[in-house]
């Protein structure tokens, strides 16, 4: 969810709550005020009638007002049971209009000069509350909609306007790739927070860059330094192995030591290669036709793996050419090729499909799908593949990245598919 | 052959020397640019093994000196840098071969032989051992008078064997030969074994004097065939 959506959504909820509560208060306040006014006028009217009735004057026969009154004679006990003054809302039949309408009713109990208890009921038609509520609701809805549109509009505008440096920064971070060249951050702003954010991001990236450099340097240095002692030790073992006085058991032990050192040597070579790829130290760039390069290596592999009787099919729709280092192109293709041959079971099949933008290696899978995330990691080894350094695919991935190629794995109906394509 | 080993690392120098002495070469060593230059100026060598990184100078500079002195020694560059630029520069400057550290002693011996053969036996465009003849130019192999039909990798293996007869070559250096560098070495030995088996069969069927002998589980030797067999 985008931040602006998030904010708008929250505002919608908040606004609904606030306006509902406000509408309730508003309604109550208005009704109170209206009732108050009506009650006052009823009271005045009742006063006149009571005064006149006590004074023996003629009671008003006013046809011009909507006000009505009744005088009822009640017993003393009844009078004692009813409050002297009481207001209520009720539905009343209005004779003039010949219909039932809501009315405000005032009952007053008083005693006349003859010591009789009289109840005066004064009533006046009241406001139609339903109408009022409906009207109120309509206007509130209108207000709500208007407020919403205006507020959200303002918000979006303010948001876009004031968060511009933030989005610029975000785009820059998205484009940023550790260890490769990048454009400087051009993000001028007067807002302190954004200024500090810019600075913090740049500072942190510079630190990462330095660490990355150091790490690369370290791997390169170590691999390099390790080479000579390795060469010497291996040489000594080889000389010892040529000694005719050695018996088989001794030779066996020497061979094992030699084997492990060889493994170390290969590992070291691969690490050095990775370091060199990441440092872009290969400069023999030219336009490489992948299909042609492949056809140089394929016969060797078919020969070496002839024992497995693998069915190899190459389908070439058009040329796939990449401008890259020839050395690395060879390493890339041979690693993928070897990977296919090694992991194809006997009598399996390898299909290589080449088109204008990709080359796909598919091979019969021994078991199910592989973990697509893990297989490209350094030192990832599947069980039972002990002598592998687990760097072959990592190297292939590193080379692909260097030349803006995408190397991906998928599993499809019993086939592992390694797809190398132009991005 | 008289060989000069220019290498600053004492331990490596000693191993190379010992290994070359075994091959009945005459070996001289130099540990610095200066001492190497003095030796090159004063003596003639058949082959010079040249380390590129020397404490007081660059091996490539030394190579230029060798060429300007019109010495006819074969030069094999040995470098720990394994960098393509060095290789290209070295070969352009007239080096005969390039070997990246770390290397197998068997490989070094094979390279020295191959380089020496290439330059010293002009007119003879083949390598022979017993009745096996190998033509590097055309990649053809003859046993006696009959041609041997070999796969590419089988040929490479035979080329290696024929240049290092009677010496133990371990499986790893063969694997490296077959696979080249920078490739994961998973289960490569089964295939080395299969390749050698084929090559062996073909040599035997053609009646070769030399045969490939397995040495316990660790490697192979190219030796004169046992007449009692």
Kindly report the CATH number assigned to the domain that includes residue A356. 3.30.565.10
Arithmetic mean of pLDDT over chain A: 85
Give me the percent of chain A exceeding a pLDDT of 70. Answer: 95
Are A75 and A108 part of one and the same domain? yes
- A250 part of a folded domain: yes
Query: Given this model, what pLDDT does residue A361 score?
Result: 95
Is A220 an 8 Å CB contact of chain B? no
From the list A147, A130, A152, A150, the residue with the least C-alpha distance to A16 is A147
Q: Is the pLDDT of residue A386 over 70?
A: no
- Tokens 């040495």 correspond to B215
CB contact under 8 A, A251 and B9: no
From the list B73, B38, B39, B77, the residue with the least C-alpha distance to B58 is B77
| Residues whose CB falls within 8 Å of the CB of residue A328, separated by 6 or more in sequence, listed in order | A277, A282, A399, A402, A403
CB contact under 8 A, A238 and B85: no
Query: Given this model, what pLDDT does residue B124 score?
Result: 64
Q: Which residues pair with B57 in a beta bridge?
A: B54
Q: Chain B window 13-32: which residues touch A at a Cβ cutoff of 8 Å?
A: 15-16, 18-19, 22
Domain count, chain A: 3
Neighbouring CB atoms inside 10 A of A55's CB total: 9
Are A273 and A289 part of one and the same domain? no
More confident: B117 or A405: A405
CB contact under 8 A, B19 and A239: yes
Are A113 and A239 part of one and the same domain? no
Give the integer Cα–Cα distance in Å for B142 and A58: 152
Nearest chain B residue to A284 by CA distance is B84
Are A64 and A133 part of one and the same domain? yes
pLDDT 10s digits, A218-272: 877 887 788 888 888 988 888 888 888 888 888 888 888 888 888 888 888 888 8
Are A270 and A307 part of one and the same domain? no
Are A271 and A302 part of one and the same domain? no
Q: What is the third-level CATH fold of B2-120?
A: Rossmann fold (3.40.50)
Which of A226, A248, A278 is the endpoint of a domain? A278
CB contact under 8 A, A307 and B216: no
Check: CB of residue A100 under 8 Å from CB of residue A93.
Answer: yes
Domain that holds residue A212: 194-278
A323: confidence class by pLDDT, cuts 50, 70, 90: very high
Query: Given this model, what pLDDT does residue A212 score?
Result: 82
Are A295 and A399 part of one and the same domain? yes
Query: Given this model, what pLDDT does residue B35 score?
Result: 92
Neighbouring CB atoms inside 10 A of A406's CB total: 13
| Residues whose CB falls within 8 Å of the CB of residue A130, separated by 6 or more in sequence, listed in order | none
Average pLDDT over residues A389-398: 84
- A156 part of a folded domain: no
Distance of CA B88 to CAs A272, A282, B96, B147, Å? Answer: 19, 13, 11, 35
Q: Is the pLDDT of residue A398 over 70?
A: yes
Query: Given this model, what pLDDT does residue A312 score?
Result: 93
Q: Which residues belong to CATH 3.40.50.2300 in chain B?
A: 2-120
Are A206 and A99 part of one and the same domain? no
Check: CB of residue A233 under 8 Å from CB of residue A261.
Answer: yes
Are A356 and A241 part of one and the same domain? no
Neighbouring CB atoms inside 10 A of A215's CB total: 13
Are A232 and A342 part of one and the same domain? no
- A164 part of a folded domain: no
Query: Given this model, what pLDDT does residue B55 score?
Result: 87
Give the integer Cα–Cα distance in Å for A392 and A54: 116
Whether the complex's predicted ipTM surpasses the cut of 0.90 = no
Domain B127-224 maps to which CATH number in 1.10.580.10, 1.10.10.10, 3.10.20.30, 3.40.50.970? 1.10.10.10
Per-residue pLDDT tens, chain B, 229 aa: give them.
899 999 988 988 999 999 898 888 899 999 999 999 999 988 888 899 998 888 888 888 999 988 888 888 889 998 876 566 677 777 888 888 888 877 888 888 888 888 877 766 555 677 888 888 888 778 888 898 888 888 888 888 898 888 888 888 888 778 777 766 545 555 566 777 888 888 999 998 888 889 998 887 788 889 987 644 4
A64: confidence class by pLDDT, cuts 50, 70, 90: low
Which of A230, A256, A278 is the endpoint of a domain? A278
Distance of CA A16 to CAs A13, A131, A148, B47, Å? Answer: 5, 22, 10, 93
pLDDT 10s digits, A208-218: 889 888 887 88
Q: Is the pLDDT of residue A110 over 60?
A: yes
Residue A410 is encoded by which pair of tokens?
A: 């998928």
The number of C-alpha atoms within 13 Å of B87 and in the hemisphere containing its C-beta is 13
Are A18 and A134 part of one and the same domain? yes
CB contacts of B103 in chain A (<8 Å) are 231
């Amino acid at each position: 969810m985008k931040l602006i959506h998030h904010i708008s959504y929250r505002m919608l909820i908040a606004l609904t709550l606030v306006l509902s509560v406000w509408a309730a208060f508003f309604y109550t306040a208005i009704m109170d005020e209206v009732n108050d006014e009506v009650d006052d006028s009823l009271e005045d009217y009742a006063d006149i009638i009571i005064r006149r009735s006590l004074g023996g004057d003629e009671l008003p026969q006013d046809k011009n007002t909507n006000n009505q009154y009744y005088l009822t004679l009640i017993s003393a006990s009844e009078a004692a049971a009813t409050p002297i003054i009481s207001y209520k809302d009720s539905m009343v039949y209005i004779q003039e209009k010949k219909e039932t309408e809501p009315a405000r009713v005032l009952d007053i109990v008083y005693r006349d000069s003859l010591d009789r208890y009289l109840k005066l009921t004064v009533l006046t038609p009241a406001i139609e509350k339903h109408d009022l509520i409906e009207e109120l609701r309509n206007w509130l809805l209108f207000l709500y909609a208007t407020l919403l549109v205006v507020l959200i509009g303002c918000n979006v505008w303010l948001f876009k306007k004031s968060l511009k440096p933030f989005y610029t920064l975000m785009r820059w971070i998205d484009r940023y790739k550790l260890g490769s060249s990048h454009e400087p951050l051009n993000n001028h702003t007067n807002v302190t927070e954004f200024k500090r954010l810019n600075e913090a991001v740049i500072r942190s990236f510079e630190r990462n860059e330095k660490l990355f450099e150091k790490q690369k340097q370290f791997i390169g240095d170590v691999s390099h330094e390790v080479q000579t002692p390795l060469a010497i030790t291996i040489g000594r073992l080889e000389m010892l192995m040529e000694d005719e006085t050695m018996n088989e058991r001794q030779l066996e032990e020497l061979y094992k030591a030699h084997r492990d050192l060889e493994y170390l040597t290969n590992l070291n070579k691969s690490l050095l290669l990775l370091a060199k790829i990441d440092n872009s130290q290969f400069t023999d760039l030219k336009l490489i036709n992948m299909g042609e390069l492949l056809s140089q290596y394929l016969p060797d592999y078919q020969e070496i793996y002839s024992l497995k009787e693998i069915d190899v099919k190459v389908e070439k729709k058009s040329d796939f050419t990449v401008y890259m280092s020839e050395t690395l192109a060879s390493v890339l293709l041979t690693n993928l090729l070897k990977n296919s041959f090694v992991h194809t079971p006997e009598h399996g099949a390898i299909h290589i499909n080449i088109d204008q933008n990709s080359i796909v290696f598919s091979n019969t899978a021994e078991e199910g799908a592989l973990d697509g995330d893990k297989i490209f990691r350094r030192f990832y080894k599947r069980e039972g593949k002990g002598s592998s350094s687990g760097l072959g695919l990592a190297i292939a991935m590193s080379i692909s990245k260097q030349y803006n190629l995408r190397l991906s794995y998928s599993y499809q109906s019993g086939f592992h598919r390694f797809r190398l394509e132009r991005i | 052959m008289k060989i000069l080993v220019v290498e600053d690392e004492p331990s490596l120098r000693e191993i190379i020397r010992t290994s070359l002495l075994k091959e009945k070469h005459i070996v001289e060593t130099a540990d610095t640019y200066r001492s190497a230059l003095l030796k090159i100026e004063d003596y003639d060598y058949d082959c010079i093994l040249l380390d590129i990184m020397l404490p007081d100078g660059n091996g490539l500079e030394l190579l230029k000196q060798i060429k300007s002195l019109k010495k006819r020694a074969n030069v094999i560059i040995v470098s720990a840098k394994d960098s393509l630029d060095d290789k290209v520069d070295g070969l352009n400057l007239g080096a005969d071969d390039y070997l990246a550290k770390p290397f197998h002693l068997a490989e070094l011996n094979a390279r020295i032989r191959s380089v020496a053969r290439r330059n010293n036996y002009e007119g003879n465009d083949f390598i022979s051992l017993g009745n096996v003849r190998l033509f590097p130019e055309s990649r053809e192999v003859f046993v006696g008078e009959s041609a041997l039909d070999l796969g590419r990798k089988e040929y490479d293996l035979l080329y290696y064997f024929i240049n290092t007869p009677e010496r133990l070559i371990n499986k790893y250096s063969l694997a490296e030969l077959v696979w080249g560098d920078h490739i994961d070495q998973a289960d490569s030995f089964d295939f080395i074994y299969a390749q050698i088996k084929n090559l062996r069969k073909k040599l035997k069927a053609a009646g070769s004097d030399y045969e490939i002998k397995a040495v316990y589980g660790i490697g192979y030797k190219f030796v004169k065939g046992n007449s009692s067999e």
